[in-house]
Amino acid sequence: MARAARYSLFVMTFSCIRRITRTASGATSPAVSLPGRRGGRITHFSRLAVVAGIVAVFGFSGRAQAAPTRQASMYFQARDRGQLVEGAVPFDALSQPQRYQSKLFEVRGPITGVLGSDSQTLLLIGPNGSPTATVAVTEDRRLRHEGILDVGHTVRALCRVVPSSDGSSANALELVVAVHEHEAVDVDEDRARVAAEKARKEAALKSRQNRTPQRLASRGVYTNFNYPRGRTLTETELLEVYSGAVRHFNGRLSQSDANRIASIIIGYSRRYGLDARLVMAVIAVESNFNPNAVSRVGARGLGQLMPGTANDLGVANSFDPVQNLEGSTRLLKTHLVNMTSAGKPSEEALKLALACYNAGAGAVKKYQGVPPYRETQQYVVKITRLYRQFCGLSAE
């Protein structure tokens, strides 16, 4: 529905509401007579009828705005499909018809003149006295555009170049399809809204993805992680080494947050009998020690627990470092015990346990080994390589 028509509809509806309100208050003009009025009051049924009418009117208006007319749809489909010439003017078609053959020009403006016979019509499109284009219209297209190609109407016309056999053409532009300007504006506005919403969603998605730091490959190795030889580290020294590694992978963390995460990892690794360096390698690859990380599939927190997995582990808040790291460490230990009890060598069991953590135990059981998923295979390689480097061994 055109904007002018929608505005008129709004004014009429507002006027109706005002008169009804005055009627209900007793300030009724003798010219106003509403059914259902008893003793200066409007009945409940009448009020419901008025409200339903208003909803129906504006509901119809909204639907009409959202759905372009058939003519506008045809116009934009042809415009999107065709080879629209950008930056050229109709004069270019007149002077070089062979070059622009079968391509489309878009001509906009008021129709200032209609010439010709029933078999063929010429439209003058553009301001009075200086039309920008002369467009030929065949009889069948003129009939299909009844009510559009009239003098005084502002239109958009898609035209194609039809050169003559000798390379020149007096009527080089022939109408393909035309639409009223106000209908085209409505479609333009709808498309702009859709494009803006799409851009907003893409920006939001990109922002969410950027919240998760880059994967381990670009981070290098924390060279100060290896234990000094010849003596045992004190708890303070151990915490300093681990918190330094945490901040190496996520420099945005404060020292106190890094200390807290390192302390939790050391504590739960001891509880479940795991090498804390292995847990550190898993968390580094999973989230780069970002407690608020969310993957594109919905995995959350430091250990990137899926909501269903977190529920099974009794983790109520995956963004809480204590709950997440406890659940993640316990899950890793469970997978490692299951793979070791299956009689696998320790190195092979570790790889299978990591594959279970990433792809699920069901996938490992189905393929009787590391599943042939590219992500899972790269995941296992990254963690085992990093773990070996944390232990002071070669990456291979």
DSSP 3-state assignment of 281? helix
pLDDT band at 386 (very low <50, low <70, confident <90, very high): very high
Q: Which of 286, 326, 375, 396 is catalytic?
A: 286
pTM of the model: 0.46
- Give the C-alpha distances (Å, rounded to integers) separating 39 from 23, 24, 252, 336: 11, 10, 73, 84
Rounded CA separation 323/290 (Å): 14
Residue 122 pairs with which residues in a beta bridge? 115, 136
- The answer to whether residue 35 scores a pLDDT higher than 80 is no
Q: What is the pLDDT of residues 93-130, one digit of tens each?
A: 666 767 777 778 888 889 988 887 767 788 888 876 66
Rounded CA separation 301/316 (Å): 12
Q: Is 286 a catalytic residue?
A: yes
Rounded CA separation 344/157 (Å): 74
| Mean per-residue pLDDT over the chain, rounded | 78
- The answer to whether residue 217 scores a pLDDT higher than 60 is no
Query: In the numeric block, which tokens belong to residue 193?
Result: 């809204």
What is the predicted pLDDT for the residue at 116?
78
Count the Cβ atoms, other than its own, within 10 Å of residue 312.
12
Mean pLDDT calculated for residue range 350-373: 95
Residue 104 pairs with which residues in a beta bridge? 84, 160
Mean pLDDT calculated for residue range 241-253: 92
Sequence spans of domains, the chain: 3-67, 72-185, 216-390
State the DSSP code for 342.
T
CATH code: domain 72-185 is 2.40.50.140
DSSP 3-state assignment of 136? strand
pLDDT band at 146 (very low <50, low <70, confident <90, very high): confident
What is the predicted pLDDT for the residue at 54?
53
- The answer to whether residue 221 scores a pLDDT higher than 70 is no
β-pair type (120-125, 133-138):
antiparallel
- The answer to whether residue 234 scores a pLDDT higher than 60 is yes
CATH code: domain 216-390 is 1.10.530.10
Burial (CB count <10 Å: 0-12, 13-18, 19+), residue 327: buried
Rounded CA separation 369/338 (Å): 13
pLDDT band at 162 (very low <50, low <70, confident <90, very high): confident
Residue type, 126: G
3-state helix, strand, coil in the chain (%, to 5): 55, 15, 35
Task: Count Cα atoms within 13 angstroms, Cβ side, for 273.
Answer: 5
